[in-house]
């Protein structure tokens, strides 16, 4: 079971990094977990596109409000925060 969870997590991370790389115009392998969206050159429009792409790819709703980003509980400040947030949303959806 642990191996299957690793495969699911690896696939999830790969898909999220592909989404981020598409907005950052770089290769997924060039995105460090501690990188910020700003550091990747992703502006607020790109951030919105990332949210929509994540929602579509994983059939989840990202609880994010641009007016109060800290209140959403979804960390868009770093790549690692996004990965953890998507993992949590997918786990919650699966029950």
Report, as an integer, the average pLDDT of 14-31: 97
Q: pTM for this structure?
A: 0.86
Q: Over range 24-30, report the average pLDDT.
A: 96
Task: Work out the mean pLDDT of the chain and round it to a whole number.
Answer: 88
Q: Which residue has the tokens 């991370």?
A: 13
Segments forming the whole domain that contains residue 56 = 2-94
Percent of the chain with pLDDT over 70: 85
Report which of residues 65 and 94 the model is more confident about: 94
pLDDT of residue 24: 96
CA gap 52, 8 in Å, rounded: 21
Residue 23: its pLDDT value, please? Answer: 96
CA dihedral 36, 40, 41, 42 (to 10 degrees): -60
Q: What CATH number corresponds to the domain at position 78?
A: 1.10.1200.10
Report the number of distinct structural domains present in the chain: 1
């Amino acid at each position: 079971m642990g191996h299957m969870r690793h495969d699911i997590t690896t696939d999830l991370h790969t898909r999220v990094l592909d989404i981020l790389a598409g907005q950052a115009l770089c290769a997924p392998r060039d995105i460090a977990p501690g990188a910020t969206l700003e550091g990747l050159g992703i502006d607020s429009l790109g951030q919105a596109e990332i949210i929509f792409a994540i929602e579509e790819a994983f059939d989840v709703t990202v609880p994010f409000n641009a007016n109060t980003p800290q209140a959403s509980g979804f960390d868009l400040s770093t790549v690692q925060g996004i990965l953890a947030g998507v993992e949590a949303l997918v786990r919650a959806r699966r029950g």
